[in-house]
């Protein structure tokens, strides 16, 4: 069944409302069974495209996931990337900054782990936390050791601009940037948190901080909506993915990544005259030896 992932792309330079995207939307799919074939086909395409991307070593792809807890970031990464060569994929999970990291600018720890050419880099959370959790809890700015003169009423707008400029720089240097916000309802999050409490194998994922952060739900939604409006650009768009159904989240993410890689049209390098000569020498050497 065809899927139009562009439906969930946040347009640039226009007003945007999170309420315009239903968290339980499935774009005509009636259930998980309907999506299995589509996801399997995309995973296979992604496997081949990634192999060519890695061999060509011209472009890199940076995939950013942002979401409230339990929205399915880990599951999306696991299921979408299940068929690719792990040597060409780097996954980084950004938690609270370490002591070393707060002594640097907030982009420093992300810049250190940008994907090399030929690789797909995945950020499970990212520098966007600086205009999400830090905006919801502005007291965290004090921990960043910024000069007092730099913490003004314009600090959030300046960060949006810095992020846009940073991503413009990346795309100009051959790093494709794809950004996914997994949009889950507060009700579905509660259901998943309760499942984690009941399932012993998932108990380790539950903390009181999860419950405390639910109290800031409206603040987070406002922060996400403002961030999406200011940082979805033509060169680095945001996609708001309905995530009340995990299986649908994975199908849309896979479809979007495959579509972007197809645009790059990667190919295995064609042999040059010199490399053909070398291959002939190798072939003769192998045939002449037991």
Instruction: Report the number of distinct structural domains present in the chain.
Output: 1
DSSP result, 41-99 = HHHHHHHHHHHHHHHH-S-EEEEEEEESTTSSHHHHHHHHTTTS-GGGEEEEE--SPPT
The confidence score (pLDDT) of residue 288 equals 86
Check if the beta carbon of residue 21 is closer than 8 Å to that of residue 8.
Answer: yes
178 CB neighbour count, 10 Å cutoff: 21
The confidence score (pLDDT) of residue 289 equals 72
The confidence score (pLDDT) of residue 12 equals 86
Residue recorded with tokens 């959370």:
125
The CA angle 98-153-144, to the nearest 5 degrees, is 10
Q: What count of residues does the chain have? A: 290
Give which of 93, 94, 91 is closest to 122, Cα–Cα: 91
CATH number at residue 195: 3.40.50.300
Going from the C-alpha of 157 to that of each of 76, 136, 226, 229, the distances in angstroms are 30, 15, 10, 11
3-state SS assignment for residue 239 = strand
What tens-digit pLDDT sequence spans the chain (290 residues)? 778 899 999 998 778 899 999 999 999 888 888 899 999 999 999 999 999 999 999 999 999 999 999 999 999 999 999 989 999 999 999 999 999 999 999 999 999 999 999 999 999 999 999 999 999 999 999 889 999 999 999 999 999 999 999 999 999 999 999 999 999 999 999 999 999 999 999 999 888 888 899 999 999 999 999 999 999 999 999 999 999 999 999 999 999 999 999 999 999 988 888 888 888 888 888 898 76
The confidence score (pLDDT) of residue 272 equals 85
The confidence score (pLDDT) of residue 155 equals 97
Residue 84 tokens read as 């690719």
DSSP result, 123-177 = EES-GGGGGTHHHHSGGGGGGGT--GGG-STTHHHHHHHHHHHHHHHHHHTTEEE
Residue 144's domain comprises 5-287
């Amino acid at each position: 069944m065809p899927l139009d992932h562009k439906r969930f792309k946040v347009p640039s330079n226009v007003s945007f409302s999170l309420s315009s995207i239903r968290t339980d939307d499935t774009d005509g799919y009636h259930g998980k069974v309907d999506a299995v074939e589509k996801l399997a086909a995309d995973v296979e395409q992604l496997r081949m495209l990634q192999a060519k991307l890695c061999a060509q070593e011209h472009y890199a792809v940076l995939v950013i996931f942002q979401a409230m807890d339990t929205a399915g970031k880990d599951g999306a990464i696991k299921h979408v990337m299940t068929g690719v060569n792990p040597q060409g994929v780097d996954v980084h999970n950004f938690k609270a900054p370490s002591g070393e990291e707060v002594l640097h600018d907030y982009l420093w720890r992300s810049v250190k782990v940008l994907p090399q050419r030929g690789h797909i880099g995945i950020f499970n959370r990212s520098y966007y936390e600086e205009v999400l959790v830090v905006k919801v809890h502005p007291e965290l700015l004090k921990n960043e050791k910024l000069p007092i003169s730099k913490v003004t009423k314009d600090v959030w707008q300046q960060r949006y601009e810095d992020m846009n400029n940073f991503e413009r720089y990346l795309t100009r240097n051959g790093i494709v940037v794809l950004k996914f916000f997994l949009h889950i309802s507060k009700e579905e999050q509660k259901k998943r948190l309760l499942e984690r409490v009941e399932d012993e194998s998932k108990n380790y994922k539950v903390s009181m901080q999860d419950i405390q952060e639910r109290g800031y739900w409206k603040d987070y939604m406002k922060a996400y909506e403002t961030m999406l409006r200011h940082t979805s650009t033509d060169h680095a768009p945001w996609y708001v993915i309905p995530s009340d159904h995990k299986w649908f989240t994975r199908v849309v993410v896979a479809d979007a990544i495959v579509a972007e890689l197809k645009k790059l049209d990667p190919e295995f390098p064609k042999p040059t005259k010199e490399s053909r000569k070398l291959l002939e020498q190798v072939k003769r050497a192998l045939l002449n030896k037991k």
